Amino acid sequence: MNLEAFKQVNCSQTKASRRRDLASYLLTAPALIWLLVFFLVPYLIVFIYSFLSTDIYDVSFKFSLSAYRQLFSGIYLRPFYLAFRLAFITTFACLILAFPVAYYIARASEKMRNMLLILIIIPFWTNLIIRIFSWRIFLSYNGVLNTILLRLGLISTPLELMRTDFTVLLVMVYVYLPYMILPLYSALEKMDFTLLQAAMDLGANEVKAFFRITLPLAAEGIFAGSLLVFIPTLGAYLIPQLVGNQRSLYVGQVITYKIKNIPRNWPMASAMSFILLLLVAIMLIAMYAIYRKRTLAKRNV
Amino acid sequence: MDELRIENLSKDYDGFLAVDNVSLTIQPGELYSFLGPSGCGKTTLLRMIAGFEIPRTGRIYLGGQDITDLPPYKRPVNTIFQNYSLFPHMNVFDNVAFGLRIKKVPKTEIKDRVRKMLTLVKMEDQAAKYPSQLSGGQKQRIAIARALINEPKLLLLDEPLAALDLKLRQHMLIELMNIHDAVGITFIYVTHDQSEAMSISDRMAVMQNGNIVQSGLPDDIYERPTSIFSAYFIGETNLITGEVIGIEDEYVQLRCHRGNGEYFEIDSTFHFPPTLGSKLTVSLRPEKIAITRSKPRNQDDFNILRGTIEDILYVGTHTQYIVRVGDLKFRVFSQHKRVYFDEKALDWDEEVWLFWHDTDSWLINEVPDGVEASVEPRSLPQRASRKGIPAEV
Ligand SMILES: Nc1ncnc2c1ncn2[C@@H]1O[C@H](COP(=O)(O)OP(=O)(O)OP(=O)(O)O)[C@@H](O)[C@H]1O
Ligand SMILES: [Mg+2]
């Protein structure tokens, strides 16, 4: 082929690829518009509201920094602290509990695997509020657990199991555990288990093989699962509200109160929402950077 | 010395004996092959030596030490897995360094030794690549480097070349032999490819149904198979059953049925005392038989048969003939020699003479199950056209 012909072919190829680019833009447009209208615009409104002044029922359109000033003055930091603490502990507890389960499912026979996965998914078929209420019935002062323990003579007065910080953590872990198991499972299922034999052949005992082979290869699942658990836990409202107490208010609850209870404080609710989003975004970016550096870059260069 | 001694080793899966009472000794520095058909227990035997399977009975000694109950990570044994099992999240350097890092060898020493290993397997400039970026042959080399860097007393290779194409396989085979010579470690090589086993091994063992049916030097096993199975599995052969009708000093006479109540006789040297009247099998390698159009002149010490060419298969290096003698079919391999007493190529349906020396008939003290005739060829190469393929003899 001579040079001219070669150039022509090349040219038409780039044209074709440009056409393909355009097509892909058009195809992603609905999603982009959806994001713009239902995510970016509302957040923009929230952002603007956080700089307005309070009114008893809604806001007055006067610029003010008082929401942020109050927010950083002290009492409003505790709900943030509690929420982050809860999110971290929940994520970690889910990880510790989910790993062996996911590992076991990934190594089970195909038939067994499908059945176990269905068992993991079954709780999703029941409404979340009903599941939380069943925990209340189970744990309350005159509840199932206390009755059983009393009958067995293990305790003489019922235990205070409801409305403690631990109850919140317990129900959180219960609700979000499947979100950790499933991505972990999908990462472990892809793993070639003869790699562990190879590691042991090369002198690594079971523990070393786990930390050097299984754990890094499950990184993808750990990352995805942690996000799926951490982010909703951080803004949790329903669970602390239904099984928690008024001494430990989480950020989600406080935001709801500021919107709902009179006197309303929408700028405060907006400021808290915005700061929460900002913190999550920073964390996400940091985690993603670490994740990319440690795993993605390695495998697909 | 670090010889490997296996004593009465057995392994069963739910009552099915995968390895059945195997005993053998492998000398230090040897390149030893296990050869056998699929499912005969080669991998199981290897995995017991590596420590991944626990034998039901028997002991394994390496250099005098009983290693039967040691976990894999405490054995001075390394394995090349069939699919290489390179760690996908580590680059070539980290893969090779794995064993040394586990042993907490100092960093500078690791660097040194990894570089040396990579040079040995000719991969010194690929240290930063990840397994997904390597070709099959390169993965193979890294797997070898990763194992050898631990300086094992024993290297186990389970069909290491099975995943490679033919040319690369031949190339890696030579490379493996060179590496074996360079490091002087005992290699145990598992394969179901007989030519691979024969060309690479110092000694080898033929396995069948969890047993070792014959072990020894490759040419010994090829030239002097002790069972129908080893004769048939290693290379190709004609198996002819016959009855002993005469025993002389140097050879025995066998009467063989060719069908239709007709018989012919075969003379054969022998290596075990046959009894008159007993039924035996002669193994006759196809390349030992000469095929001609005219009757051979020298008839002393030769077995001579007359037959009809039923099929001609030109395979490049030689031509394979299927020659019918009564109800029996003989496979004959003949090199294409330019200078020979016949001018014209042999053709389909031609009457020909087959002859071979008495010492080329090999007696086996066994009769094939059921069939008395020679065995049908197992696999025939593709044939282009029925007629007209040149075959000069
Ligand atoms: N984990 C297992 N469970 C049950 N049976 C097994 C198991 N592993 C192997 N076997 C059986 O043991 C026998 C020997 O298997 P092995 O893998 O040792 O054969 P092989 O000689 O390596 O064959 P191939 O050449 O196909 O690799 C086979 O019949 C196989 O079905
Ligand atoms: Mg095998």
Q: Are residues B24 and B127 in the same domain?
A: yes
Contact B73 A203 (CB under 8 A): yes
Residue A84 falls inside a structural domain: yes
Residue A126 falls inside a structural domain: yes
Number of separate domains in chain A: 1
So what's the pLDDT on residue B83? 86
Looking at the CA of B81, name the nearest ligand. 2
Q: By three-state DSSP, how is residue B191 classified?
A: strand
pLDDT tens string A72-97: 888 899 999 999 999 999 999 999 99
Asked whether B13 lines ligand 1 (CB < 6 A), one says: yes
Residue B271 falls inside a structural domain: no
β-pair type (B16-26, B31-35) = unpaired
| Cis-peptide into A263, omega within 30 deg | yes
So what's the pLDDT on residue B299? 78
pLDDT tens string B302-328: 999 999 999 999 888 889 999 999 999
Asked whether B192 lines ligand 1 (CB < 6 A), one says: yes
Task: List the single residue in B89, B91, B146 with the smallest CB-CB distance to A202.
Answer: B146
Q: Are residues B9 and B154 in the same domain?
A: yes
Asked whether B341 lines ligand 1 (CB < 6 A), one says: no
Rg of the Cα atoms in chain B = 25
Mean model confidence pLDDT for chain B:
88
Residue B390 falls inside a structural domain: no
Task: List the single residue in B52, B73, B77 with the smallest CB-CB distance to A205.
Answer: B73
pLDDT tens string B11-46: 999 989 999 999 999 999 999 999 999 999 999 999
Residue B107 falls inside a structural domain: yes
What tokens appear for A2 in the block? Answer: 């001579």
Residue A199's contacts (CB-CB under 8 Å, 6 or more residues apart) are A208, A209, A212, A213, B87, B98
Q: Are residues B129 and B202 in the same domain?
A: yes
Q: Does B102 touch chain A (CB under 8 A)?
A: yes
Q: Does B65 touch chain A (CB under 8 A)?
A: no
What tokens appear for B138 in the block? Answer: 């390169």
So what's the pLDDT on residue A296? 54
Asked whether B191 lines ligand 1 (CB < 6 A), one says: no
Evaluate whether B265 touches B256 at the Cβ level (below 8 Å). yes
**A253 lies in which domain range?**
79-300
Mutation test of the interface with chain B: which of A193, A195, A202, choosing the one with the most B Cβ atoms within 10 A? A202
Residue A56 falls inside a structural domain: no
Contact B132 A217 (CB under 8 A): no
Percent of chain B with pLDDT over 90: 70
Distance (Å) from CA B1 to ligand 2 centroid? 29
Contact A194 B103 (CB under 8 A): no
Q: Are residues B209 and B284 in the same domain?
A: no
Residue A196 falls inside a structural domain: yes
Q: Are residues B208 and B335 in the same domain?
A: no
Rounded Cα–Cα distance for residues B131 and A294 (Å): 16
**CB-count exposure of residue A10 (10 Å: 0-12, 13-18, 19+):** exposed
CA triplet B353, B356, B359: central angle to 5 degrees?
165
Residue B376 falls inside a structural domain: no
Give start and end residues of each alpha helix (H) in chain B. 42-50, 92-102, 107-120, 136-148, 166-183, 194-200, 218-223, 228-233
Q: Are residues B140 and B69 in the same domain?
A: yes
Instruction: Tell me the CATH number at A281.
Output: 1.10.3720.10
- Sheet containing strand B65-66, edge to edge, reads B16-26, B4-13, B57-62, B65-66
**B302 lies in which domain range?**
236-241+280-364
Instruction: Tell me the CATH number at B30.
Output: 3.40.50.300
Q: Are residues B78 and B200 in the same domain?
A: yes
Residue B133 falls inside a structural domain: yes
Number of separate domains in chain B: 2
Residue A4 falls inside a structural domain: no
Instruction: Tell me the CATH number at B286.
Output: 2.40.50.100
Q: Are residues B43 and B137 in the same domain?
A: yes
pTM of the model: 0.81
